[in-house]
A and B are shown apart, each in its own frame.
Chain A
Amino acid sequence: MNIFKLSIKNIISKPLNSILSLALLILGIGIISLLLQLNSLIKTQMDNNLKGIDMVVGAKGSPLQLILSAVYHIDSPTGNISVEDAEEIKNNRMVGSSIDLLYGDNYKGYRIVGTEDKFLDLYNAKIKDGKKWNAPFEVVVGAKIYSKLNINLDDELVSSHGLRETGESHVNQSFKVVGLLEPSNSVVDQLIITSPQSIWDLHDEHDHDDEDHEEHHDDEDHEEHEHDHDDEDHDEHEHDHDDEDHDEHEHGDKEITAMLIKFKSPMNIIQFPRQINENTNLQAAVPSYEISRLFKLFGFGIETLTYLAYLIILVSGFSLFINLFNSMRERKYEMALIRTLGASRSQLSVMVIFESLILTISGFLLGLLVSRLGVMFVSSLMEESLNYSLSSLYILNEEFWLLGLSILIGLISSLIPAIQVYKMNISEILADE
């Protein structure tokens, strides 16, 4: 037996006394920690996926939508752009490197992206099993997808049109899995990647299904079809396209959905996007700018909620103080007894402070636990709707600060009760019986 154990026994023996203060503290700490975790996780996720992308070029529309669709793959694309227009931008002397992206299909809700080899390098994604895509309709599958859907090498995936699971299936064409990617903790984990040609072929092929059943497994034929049937192509793409896109379409160009660009010099980020937006019918958006704008929009809500949580913590401290104060009055004979057994004034004060700290520190720990459960919950929601997930196993620096705050609340709440106990007149209490 010692003072610390005594404090614990005191708390456990009357759990109802402290449950309200504890619950408030858990709530307050939990909310703040959850906000911190989500903020940091989303920021890291967003930043991870932003590396090496200075600018995104796509069809006119909302710049945020363009970024969300082309960089994070969580929104619909703004439309398509013609390869010729894209070439023009690529040839600009300010452009260091560029990656084409084509999308518009999914496999069980996961997006199929037609792109170049460089795309994998951008995210440092490596092949775990198999090889890179090469021939049309060969795909490489991201880590989250194959582990979740249990996809293996050489499996055939039948894609659906559109970006949601509900789209119409391309019944006659399937993709062959030739490679599986290592987890890269980036957006690649939730993508199925193939060559641009596959996407072009897929949509050509699809148009001819009714007319031309024999041809679709013959790879060489696909090339021709692209040029032959442009008019029908138009119908097929209607879901995604703005009106202005249609004109380009009819001129027989190949199209891509968006283009990721890295500049030669960071200086170009100011001037070049504006040039594109003003002088062409393309749209250029700067991801870092759009994302910080998005965070500013969130920011107000997060801040309000944080203040509310601090208020809850403050109330929990006050409720803890009242608890301790009452409990010391209730236990004054006990205290006097402990003193007569030879305990010093300071030992009793330490007991009170321990009781308070044990409560606030367990409130802190349970709060962290609650926030982790919260992250898991939010993650499962995001997983369902966006195929995005978050996980957090580490403790943020700000959370150590919360530990400090919990200890401070514990000390302040117990200050007056501890002084009260220190100054207690045991003779008077014992004579009072």
Chain B
Amino acid sequence: MIKTRDIKFDYNNQVFFQFPDIEIKTKENLLIIGNSGIGKTTLLHLLAGLLESKSGSIELFGKEISNLNSYQLDTFRGENIGIVFQRSHFVNSLTVKENLELAQFIANKKDNNRIDTILKSLGILDKSDKKTNQLSQGEKQRASIALAIVNSPKLILADEPTSSLDDENCDRVIKLLKKQASEFNAQLIVITHDNRLKKHFKKSIKL
């Protein structure tokens, strides 16, 4: 259950955002679509607790996250939210597997089987001991999905996951995301300007 009401955010007097209310039930996915500069990333950061909203409420799984302090917010995010960024980020000094182990350590959920399960399901188990900068673009994207779901989050937030991909790859990636979300019982919210994704989602919001 994810519910927001009257979220507003401003960076300064000129840049001011007011977002439509969101409400999705358990097992539902959501596509949020909007053009550049309309505050898509801001909304994603607000939902992830990376930014604090100036007003309104954000309720994730029965918890009002604007009431949490910085430390509680970090913990909550680690436990419940996985984020797939437009560009993949990793800790470059670590291998794929070590990146996943680090994520588990931070969320206090050590489970080596799960790492293997996920890497296998994403088809990159053989890359687990590779440094992340040795991966191809496609492998990087898979690895960053693995990082987002390794701690069994209830919510996966994806920021422009397909914007730089051709149609074929766009299809593949969004299917992969949906498949992983349902396989590991997470809800998926994709924020994008990419109209190609509309057909993959039953529910969508336009900013």
Contacts and interface: CB of A to CB of B under 8 A. Distances in A.
A430 B98 CA distance: 22
A338 B79 contact: no
A433 interface: yes
Interface in B103-134: 103-107
A172 interface: no
B74 A338 contact: no
B202 to A, nearest CB: 27
Interface string A346-364: 0100000000000000000
Interface stretch (A7-15, A105-113, A231-239, A276-284): A7-15
A334 B85 contact: no
Given A336-B89, A342-B77, A343-B74, A9 B107 contact: no
Interface in B64-112: 70-71, 74-79, 83, 85-87, 89-94, 98, 101-107
B42 interface: yes
B50 A430 contact: yes
B48 interface: yes
Interface in A1-27: 1-3, 6, 9-10, 12-14
B45 interface: yes
B24 interface: no
B90 A431 contact: no
Nearest to B101: A1
Contact of B87 (A9, A345, A347, A433): A433
Contacts, number: 86
A427 interface: yes
Given A430-B41, A430-B50, A341 B107 contact: yes
A339 interface: yes
A430 B93 CA distance: 19
A264 to B, nearest CB: 73
Interface residues of A, number: 28
B188 to A, nearest CB: 17
Given A339-B74, A430-B45, A14 B93 contact: yes
A412 interface: no
A344 interface: yes
A10 B104 CA distance: 18
Of A10, A339, A341, A347, most B-chain CB atoms within 10 Å:
A341
B58 interface: no
- Give the interface size class of chain B: 20 to 34
Question: Majority SS of interface residues in chain A?
Answer: helix
A333 B75 CA distance: 19
B48 A340 contact: yes
A419 interface: no
B75 A433 contact: no
B191 interface: no
Nearest to A433: B87
B78 A341 contact: yes
A426 interface: yes
A425 to B, nearest CB: 9
Interface in A320-346: 331, 333-334, 336-345
Interface string A169-213: 000000000000000000000000000000000000000000000
Given A6-B94, A341-B102, A334 B45 contact: no
A290 B118 CA distance: 78
B104 A1 contact: yes
Interface of B: 41-42, 45, 48, 50-51, 70-71, 74-79, 83, 85-87, 89-94, 98, 101-107, 147, 151
17 contacts: A1-B94, A1-B105, A2-B105, A3-B105, A6-B91, A9-B94, A10-B91, A334-B90, A338-B91, A339-B74, A341-B102, A342-B76, A342-B79, A344-B70, A427-B42, A430-B85, A433-B87
Given A336-B89, A338-B106, 7 more contacts: A6-B102, A12-B93, A340-B77, A343-B78, A344-B71, A427-B50, A430-B45
